[in-house]
Amino acid sequence: MKRIYNFSAGPAILPLKVLEEAQSEMLDYQGTGMSVMEMSHRSKTYQQIIDDAEADLRKLVGIPSNYKVLFLQGGATLQFSMIPMNLMKNQSADYIISGHWAKKAAEEAEKYGKVNIIASSQDKMFSYIPDLKNLHISKDADYVHICDNNTIYGTKYYELPNTDGKPLVSDMSSSFLSEPIDIKKYGVIYAGAQKNVGPAGTVIVIIREDLIRKDLPSYTPIMMRYDIQAENQSMYNTPPTYGIYLCGKVFKWLLNLGGLEAIHKINVEKAKLIYDYLDGSSMFFGTVEKKSRSIMNVCFKSTSEQLDEKFIKEAKANGFDNLKGHRSVGGMRASIYNAMPVEGVKALVDFMKIFEHQNGGKA
């Protein structure tokens, strides 16, 4: 059995312990004589699995009782539609455009009402988080939408916009559970599991109860109603049972590790290892403004595209996979989610130093 250091932006690395547990339970979950994926979602055993997952997530994040936790399908992209369908009472919302996915979310919302782009960093290829001072929040806005961590560009919000009391909606797909979250500051948080939490096919939604409406447009598909999903505790139809089971294992892994403060400390340490090296290198450099740097997705380039290509190829041969940057940015991207061990990042930096030295850099 070979395991490599997997820097994929998502679907991404999962904790080895979680995979090993899933492996050992694959044919027989705790003496039931069946795999979790063979279980009725209405069985007591499965109910316990999803109840534990929710309870552990609530404990891990500190989710107040006036917020619902939903495990849904369709990824963040289906949330791009569900958010405006369910929240646009006045058919108006403010969006801050900090990257590709934030833009996609805004474009989708335009189907359901007026979308006001109140800030954007598209002028410099999304290499920074827009200035949040002097934002003009629309009077009739039903919510303000941000994308917390921009996977493609490697940027992250370090302060939140003042929304003038409007609910803040945050797409946290690539930063969820990487640091403590003060849930009270948000109206809705959503996150596709496949980056930092579990396998693709589950999206987690945390929504303040008073934002769940019943008077929705008649065309709203029943599966896309937060009220229906909340009333049925994510089981209006068969949920992605196996994915939720794995998310639950990741929550337990994080609790055992000491919770979100503990993992945040580790994540900061991992990111610092790479960024410090990049800042001292004569060959590699980070591609975004320092104050906007993500601790989950580290984007960088070398002095030439040829060298980028050579680096990616040699890195792969040495057991560091999925370092190619997104096609819209080029260069490299090291996604260092919770499950990436510190040793993986140290090994990568060591490899970069050797590569730099061997290819004429000063290191």
Interacting residues with a copy of itself between 193 and 222 (CB under 8 A):
194, 198-202, 217-222
Binding segment for a copy of itself among 48-56, 88-96, 241-249, 254-262 (CB under 8 A)? Answer: 241-249
In the list 154, 161, 167, 192, the residue contacting a copy of itself (rule: CB under 8 A) is 192
Active site residue 253: no
With binding defined as CB under 8 A, does residue 311 bind a copy of itself? no
Other C-beta atoms within 10 Å of 114: how many? 16
Q: How far is the CB of 333 from a copy of itself (least distance, A)?
A: 11
With binding defined as CB under 8 A, does residue 322 bind a copy of itself? yes
Active site residue 301: no
Question: Rounded to whole angstroms, how far apart are CA atoms 329 and 299?
Answer: 9
Active-site pick, 56, 94, 101, 249: 101
Query: Which secondary-structure segment (H or E) carries 89?
Result: none
In the complex with a copy of itself, the residue whose CB is nearer, 238 or 304, is 238
With binding defined as CB under 8 A, does residue 135 bind a copy of itself? no
With binding defined as CB under 8 A, does residue 330 bind a copy of itself? no
Binding segment for a copy of itself among 122-130, 192-200, 260-268, 341-349 (CB under 8 A)? Answer: 192-200
Residue 12 CB partners (closer than 8 Å, separation 6+):
6, 194, 195, 196, 335, 337, 339
Question: Rounded to whole angstroms, how far apart are CA atoms 127 and 148?
Answer: 14
Amino acid occupying residue 225: R
Question: Rounded to whole angstroms, how far apart are CA atoms 101 and 79?
Answer: 12
Question: Rounded to whole angstroms, how far apart are CA atoms 40 and 25?
Answer: 16
Q: Which two structure tokens, joined as six digits, stand for 239?
A: 């949920």
With binding defined as CB under 8 A, does residue 91 bind a copy of itself? no
Binding segment for a copy of itself among 124-132, 138-146, 235-243, 353-361 (CB under 8 A)? Answer: 235-243
Q: How many residues bind a copy of itself (CB under 8 A)?
A: 71
Q: How far is the CB of 199 from a copy of itself (least distance, A)?
A: 4
Q: How far is CA 90 from CA 139, 219, 354, in A?
A: 10, 17, 58
First to last CA, the chain: 34
Active site residue 101: yes
- Nearest CA-CA partner of 177 in 51, 50, 15, 344: 15
Active-site pick, 68, 156, 195, 252: 195
142 three-class SS:
coil
Q: How far is CA 280 from CA 176, 356, 362, in A?
A: 30, 12, 10
Binding string to a copy of itself for residues 6 to 45, with x set by CB under 8 A, is what? x-xxxxxxx-x--xx-xx--xxx--xxxxx-xxxxx-x--
With binding defined as CB under 8 A, does residue 331 bind a copy of itself? no
User: What residues act catalytically?
Assistant: 101, 171, 195
